[in-house]
Structure 1
Amino acid sequence: MENSRPKDLAALVYNKLKLNKTIKVLPAVETLELFFDILFYLSMCKEESDLIKVTVTFIDPNNPDPNPPRKIVPERWSSIAFTKPIMMNTKSLAKLSKAADPTSSSLAVYFDEKGDLFVWGLIDQAMHYQDFLNYESDTHSEQPGLFQVAVSDIGTLHVLFDYELLATLKQNLLVKRYLDVLTIGPIAKILRGNATFLKAEIKAYVEKMHPDENFTDWEEFLDNLWIQTFSRLLLKIQNYQHGGAILITSPSKDLDVKYEIHYDRLTMAMIAHAKSSIANYLSEEAIQQEISGGKRSIHKKLYQQECISFYDKKGTSDEIKGAISFIASQSCVDGVVLFDTKMVANGFGAVLRAKKMPKKIYVSATATATAKSLVSHEPRHYGTRHRSMIAYCYNHPSALGVVISQDGEIRAFAKIDEKLIMWENIKTQQYRRNATQKSIHKTSPL
C-alpha cells in the first residue's frame, strides 16, 4: 500500500487486537495512532550521532505475564520495572534506546486510563528471540506483551505479534505480505536443485553408516538446511547496511572477478552438520527406545555415540555460522559475491559485464510468479547494481541473482520462460503464526 502513514499501521494493529477476545482493555485507535507516530518520528532521530534502533513491547505493567507456561525455561524473558514510569515521547525513547540494544532487550510501553503512553521498564533475554528469527536457534518460546514493534531504519517500523510479522511500514509504503520465495516457487526450485550435491553425499552416508534408515525421510531436513543457510547469509549481509549482491552461476566471459578464491568450507560444514545431526537423532532415538522398553541402563557405546554426535552437531553448527560470517563480510567490497551451484564461494568484488538488457522486466506479486501476478517494469528505472544483475541473469538463464540494497531491501532475479522476473519484499527470517516450543526433529537443520 503506497502513500501510507503511521495511522494506517495503527488501524491494522487495532483490527488485529480486536480479534483477541482475551484482551480486557483494548487501546483506543487514537492511542495506537499516537504510539506509531512517536515511533515513526523516533526513527528519524539520532542519539550520539547514531541512528536509533530499538524494539518496543506493548505490555501491561499490572499484568505483564497473564498466561505463563507450565514449565518456565531458564532463558525465558522477564520484565524489569522502573521505579517511576517515564512519559513516552521521541526524546525519552531516544535516550532509553542506548540502554536497549534490540538484540538483547526491548522497552516496555503501555497506556493509562487517559490514553497517555508511558515507558515503564525493560524486557530481557531478547537475544533468544532474535536467534530464532535469524535461524541461529531451533527453539523458541512465547513472546511478552500484546505485540512488539522494531524500529530498524529511517521511517521503518516492523510490527510483530509473537512470531508473526503483521506488517512493515517503510517510509510511505505499508507492506503486509512478504514473499516466501526461498521455500515456494521458481527460486525455491532452483535452490533445491542446487542441494542435489548435498543430498547425494548424505544418501551415500546413510546407506553406508545407517543402512536401516530410509534416506527419503531426511530429504526435507536437507532442503531446509540448504535454504536456511542461504537465508542466514542474506540476513548477515543485510545487517551490514552496506548493500551487496550474490550471484549463483557457472563461469562465463561476462564475469570479471577482482578477488578470485575457492572457499568450500560452507558446503563441507553443511555436509558434516547433516551427518552429525542424523547420527545424534538416531542415537537419541535408540536410547529412548531402550528406556521405553523398560531397561534400567543403556549400553556404554550407545551413550558415547550420543555424546560424540551431540558435540559434533554443535561444532559443525558453529562452523556454518563462522563460514557465513566470513563470506558475508566480502559483500562489503564493491561488486558481486560469486557462488557455484554447490554453494562454493568462487570470488568477490566481481563486475558483471553482460550488456544486453531486456526491454521489460516483470515484478512478481507472488512467490510462484504466476502470469496474473506479473507486472511489467522498465529496467532503466533501477540503479546500476540492479541493472547489471538484470542484464546478467537475462543473458544467463541458469543464473540466480540477489541484490541487497543499503536500506536492507532484498530482491531476487531469475529468467523464467523467457521473462526476467524480479521478486521483492522477500521473507528471510523465520516468522511463523503458531509459536509453541518444539524439540529438535528430522525437519530441523540446527
Structure 2
Amino acid sequence: MAEYAFPAQLLEELHAHWRPPHSSTSSALPDDLTLLRILETCYHASLRTAELRATRCVLAYVSTDSLSNRSLMRFEHPAILTASELVRLAPVTELHRTLIGCHHFGGMLKIWGLFEHGQAWQTVDSISGTTTREEDLPDDCLTITIEGPGALSVARGEKEVVRLRDGKIIAPHKHPLRQMDKPLGTFFETLVKGLKEPETGDAIISSFKVEREQLLDIYMMAIARILERIRSERHGGSVVISASPLSRRVAYRTYTVIGHAALADDILNHCRALRGLQAAPIDPSSEAERFRAEAAVRQSSQSLIRGVNRVSLLAAIDGAVLLDGKLRIEGFGVRFPVLLPPDTTILDALTGIEYPCDEWGLRHQSVFSVCQKCDEAVGFVISQDGSVKAVKSVQGRLHFWDGILD
C-alpha cells in the first residue's frame, strides 16, 4: 500500500534542516503547534480554487518589525489566518515578489498584510539564488510557498528546506537548471559557452571578460522571465530551445522568422553594463561617471525586458515558440507531429516516478515528441493552471522536471 505524507510529517524534516544562522533580525522557527497550523492551512488552501484559478502564493511568518516600512501594505484590521483568506488574497500577489505576512496577534495567528521584496531585473526568479537582498527578507524568516494542489515548499528566507509534492517529502535540492552536473544545467551551460561575439565571432567568455556565472545567471533569468510572463497570461503555451536546427518534418513552422536579433546579445549588453557599474568609483568626485553607469544598466535592463516580452507574447498563438541557442526566434505557432511509440513513458526526474506519456494532453505530447527526436532540445510546457515543466531526453529516455519556476 502506498504511503502518503501530509503536513504533520514535515515537522521532523523542518527541525532537522532548519539551523537558523546568527541574525540581527530573528524570525525563529515557531513552536510545533503554530507551525502545524500554518502548514495545514497552506495545504488546505492549495487544494482550493477561486474562479477556476489554482491557489499559488507565498506566506511568510514574520513580524512587521523585521521588515522595511517602505515595502509593507499593512491592514488596519489583521485577518485570521485561514485557507479561505489565502485563497482570496492569492490572486493579488505576484509569486516570489509579493508575500502574505502573518504573525501572532493576541495569541491568534493573523494575516497582517502584504509586502514586496527584491528589485528590478534581479527579482525575476529563484533560479539564480540571488533574487533578494538581505535587507528585504530576514535570513531566518519562515516562508511557505503554495506551488499547486497538495504541493508546498518550505524555506528559511530564500533557501529551501523541504518540499511536499505528490504525497512525498522531498529533501532540499539545487534548482535543476543550475545543477551543472545534471542534464538541464549541462545543456544550458554548453549553450552559454558557445555564445559568440556578434562582431568578431570569438567566444564571449574568452574574448570579453564576462564572469561565467554572471552570464549564465542572466541567461537563465531571461528564460525564467519568458516562462513567467507566459504563465501570467493564463493561456498556457510551450517553448522549445534547440541547439541544432530542426527540420520541417520535425517542426512545422506556421510563422518562420528570419533575421531576428538574438536575445543573447541583449544579455551580453546587460552583463557589460553591470560590470561597468561595479567598476565605477563611488566617491563624490566621480558622481557623473557613476550616474552614466547606472543609466547604462537601466537602458540595457529595459532592452532585455522588451526582448523577453516579445518572445513571451508569441506563445498566445496555438503552437510552440521555437528558439535557437542564442534565444533567437526561429518561428512561432510551431507544431511538432506527435509520433510517440505506443506505451512511451516519461520519468519524473525529481520523484523517480514513471508516467505514461498519453496521460497528458496534445500540448505536452507534442513537446515530448520533439524532445525524444532531438537530444539537443529542451522543451518547456506552461499549463493554464500555472504549472511549468521542463522536458528533455536523457540517454534516449524522456525526463521531465515539474515546478520549474517554483
TM-score, normalisation: structure 2 = 0.76
Aligned partners of 1:297 and 1:17: how far apart in 2?
A: 46
1:39 — aligned with what? Answer: 42
Aligned partners of 1:157 and 1:353: how far apart in 2?
A: 35
The number of equivalent residue pairs is 391
1:346 — aligned with what? Answer: 330
1:191 matched to 2:192? The reply is: no
Q: What is the CA deviation profile of residues 176-230 of structure 1, one whole-angstrom value per residue up to 9, with x for unaligned ones?
A: 44553322223233223323554434887999xxxxx984553333233323222
Aligned partners of 1:87 and 1:405: how far apart in 2?
A: 32
1:336 matched to 2:320? The reply is: yes
Aligned partners of 1:45 and 1:360: how far apart in 2?
A: 32
1:403 maps to amino acid: V
1:324 matched to 2:319? The reply is: no
1:134 matched to 2:137? The reply is: no
Aligned partners of 1:164 and 1:157: how far apart in 2?
A: 14
- 5 Å-filtered alignment, 1:137-176, equals 140-142=133-135, 143-144=137-138, 146-170=141-165, 172-176=167-171
The alignment partner of 1:124 has SS state of strand
Aligned partners of 2:235 and 2:63: how far apart in 1?
A: 38
- 5 Å-filtered alignment, 1:125-274, equals 125-126=116-117, 128=119, 132=123, 134=125, 140-142=133-135, 143-144=137-138, 146-170=141-165, 172-178=167-173, 180-183=175-178, 184=180, 185-196=182-193, 198-201=195-198, 215=208, 218-249=211-242, 250-252=245-247, 253-262=249-258, 263-264=260-261, 266-274=263-271
Call closer, same or farther: CA 1:13–1:385 in 2, change over 3 Å: same
1:314 matched to 2:315? The reply is: no
- 5 Å-filtered alignment, 1:36-75, equals 36-45=39-48, 52-59=55-62, 64-65=65-66
Higher-Rg structure is 1
The alignment partner of 1:4 has SS state of coil
Q: Which runs of 5+ in 1 are unaligned?
A: 208-212, 367-372, 430-446
1:29 matched to 2:20? The reply is: no
Identity %: 17
Call closer, same or farther: CA 1:401–1:86 in 2, change over 3 Å: closer
The alignment partner of 2:189 has SS state of helix
1:405 — aligned with what? Answer: 383
Aligned partners of 1:310 and 1:24: how far apart in 2?
A: 34
> Contact conserved, 1:56 with 1:109, CA < 8 A, in 2?
no
Aligned partners of 2:57 and 2:340: how far apart in 1?
A: 44
Call closer, same or farther: CA 1:162–1:343 in 2, change over 3 Å: same
TM-score, normalisation: structure 1 = 0.70
Deviates more, 1:315-324 or 1:149-158: 149-158
2:274 — aligned with what? Answer: 277
Q: What is the CA deviation profile of residues 135-164 of structure 1, one whole-angstrom value per residue up to 9, with x for unaligned ones?
A: 798651242574122335444433221011
> Contact conserved, 1:333 with 1:348, CA < 8 A, in 2?
yes
Q: 2:100 aligns with which of 79, 99, 106?
A: 106
